[in-house]
């Protein structure tokens, strides 16, 4: 009984994460080695990335003319620079095994960042095993070499910097991640709320300008060559979605999936959920509703009141708010592909715990989600489970965060800046 009691105490006490996380990272390092050594690499987009980069190396700067076997280049400029480096290091993309080991390093570094973010928010040790058990996550990073791994790395780097109140470093990290893949736009509403309340209106606006300047700087070689081409390709919001590749909404049928009414309904649901979260959850540090926050936007509060608001922007609030925005976006996305699991797999464990859910139920939902994302090709049943687990996560975290926000000041104080 003493051993059981001690084990339970370790599982629920956040201070034990300091030694549990290194053990989990060590175990996952060994697992990554086995994955690369034993499981065959699967070619999907790597060859196309290398072909597109080869054209960039040859001097092409018009985005419309950058093509690979899978089609045109549809990612922003930071993607090109990252894969240009990989192109150089892997003998023009020929050394696949070396590339896989580089992605092992990316995976483990990102995992360590995620654990740090969870730790800053006082997540208990029993949540952390869920971060290393995903078969699909190992596949996305090490067997597919997708660019989503880099995007999610910069997302969690930004979150960690915000939690440490390194605002400028966090904003640069977020903007660079957005320059890898525009999927990170899903987090933008929450990032705006975090910066506004964590820094005040004027300083937050400067952060927004900095992010915009980062995008211009990253895209400058292509904007100078053909601005319309770059903006249309890198940030193409009108992209057509193919039913055969969808992981989430297959169960509604192809006719409904492709219909304009379905697309508009999802956009409306996305907007509604964001407004509801904003009005009832994300403005808690300000202790205001949406109309009251607009008044604060037009007329910022006095310095003393702003300092109180900043102290309420805790690491827990930052992680909860940004990950909630990401999951809401994934729930309302018309088409999720398998690589989108990078944004989901390391978000839902924290949000399910944050909702106050019983650990057994939390593990059951995680298992259902993991099963659904490992069904290939997706089926009506698996896609229904994908949507259901996302919906349960959004609803449960909304219900579980209805109380007052923790008023404890962040460890590093409200004034620190990067």
Tell me the DSSP string of 123-170: --GGGGGGGT--HHHHIIIIIS--THHHHHHHHHHHHHHHHTT-HHHH
Six token digits for residue 257: 């999936």
Burial (0-12, 13-18, 19+ Cβ within 10 Å), 91: exposed
Whole-number pLDDT of residue 264: 95
Q: What pLDDT was estimated at residue 7?
A: 84
Q: Going by C-beta distance under 8 Å and a sequence separation of 6 or more, which residues neighbour residue 1?
A: none
Return the pLDDT at 391.
98
Read off the tokens for 211. Answer: 């992010």
Residues of the chain with pLDDT under 50: 406-415
The answer to whether 285 and 312 have CB atoms below 8 angstroms apart is yes
Quote the pLDDT of residue 244.
Answer: 86
pTM for the model: 0.95
Res 407: pLDDT: 43
Q: What is the largest CA-CA distance in the chain?
A: 71
Model pLDDT, residue 1: 67
Q: Distance between CA atoms of 301 and 160, rounded to whole angstroms?
A: 27
């Amino acid at each position: 009984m003493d051993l059981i009691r001690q084990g339970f105490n370790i599982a629920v006490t956040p201070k034990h994460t300091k030694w549990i996380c290194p053990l989990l990272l060590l175990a996952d390092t060994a697992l990554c080695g086995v994955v690369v050594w034993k499981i065959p690499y699967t070619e999907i987009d790597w060859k196309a990335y290398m072909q597109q980069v080869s054209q960039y190396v040859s001097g092409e700067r018009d985005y419309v003319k950058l093509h690979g076997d899978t089609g045109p280049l549809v990612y922003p400029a930071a993607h090109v620079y990252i894969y240009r480096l990989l192109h150089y290091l892997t003998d023009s993309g020929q050394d696949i095994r070396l590339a896989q080991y580089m992605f092992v390093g990316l995976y483990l570094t990102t995992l360590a960042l995620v654990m740090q973010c969870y730790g800053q928010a006082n997540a208990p040790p029993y949540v952390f095993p869920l971060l290393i058990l995903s078969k699909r996550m190992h596949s996305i990073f090490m067997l597919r070499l997708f660019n989503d791994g880099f995007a999610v790395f910069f997302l969690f780097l930004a979150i960690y910097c915000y939690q440490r109140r390194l605002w400028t470093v966090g904003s640069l990290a977020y903007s660079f991640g957005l320059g890898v893949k525009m999927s990170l736009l899903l987090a933008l509403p929450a990032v705006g709320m975090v910066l506004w309340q964590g820094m005040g209106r004027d300083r937050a606006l400067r952060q927004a300008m900095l992010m915009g300047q980062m995008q211009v700087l990253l895209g400058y070689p292509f904007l100078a060559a053909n601005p319309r081409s770059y903006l249309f390709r890198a940030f193409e919001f009108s992209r057509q979605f193919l039913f055969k590749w969808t992981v989430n909404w297959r169960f509604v049928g192809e006719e409904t999936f492709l219909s304009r009414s379905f697309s508009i309904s999802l956009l409306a649901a996305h907007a509604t959920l964001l407004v509801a979260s904003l009005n009832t959850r994300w403005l808690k540090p300000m202790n205001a509703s949406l109309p009251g926050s607009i008044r604060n936007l037009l007329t910022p509060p006095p310095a003393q009141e702003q300092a109180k608001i900043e102290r309420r922007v805790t690491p827990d609030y930052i992680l909860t708010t940004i990950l909630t925005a990401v999951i809401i976006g994934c729930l309302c996305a018309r088409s999720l592909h398998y690589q989108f699991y990078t944004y989901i797999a390391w978000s839902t464990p924290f949000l399910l715990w944050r909702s106050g859910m019983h650990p057994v139920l939390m593990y059951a939902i995680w298992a259902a989600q993991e099963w659904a994302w490992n069904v290939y090709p997706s089926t009506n049943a698996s896609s229904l489970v994908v949507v259901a687990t996302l919906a349960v996560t959004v609803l449960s975290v909304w219900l579980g965060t209805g109380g007052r926000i923790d008023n404890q000041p962040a460890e590093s104080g409200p004034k620190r800046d990067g």
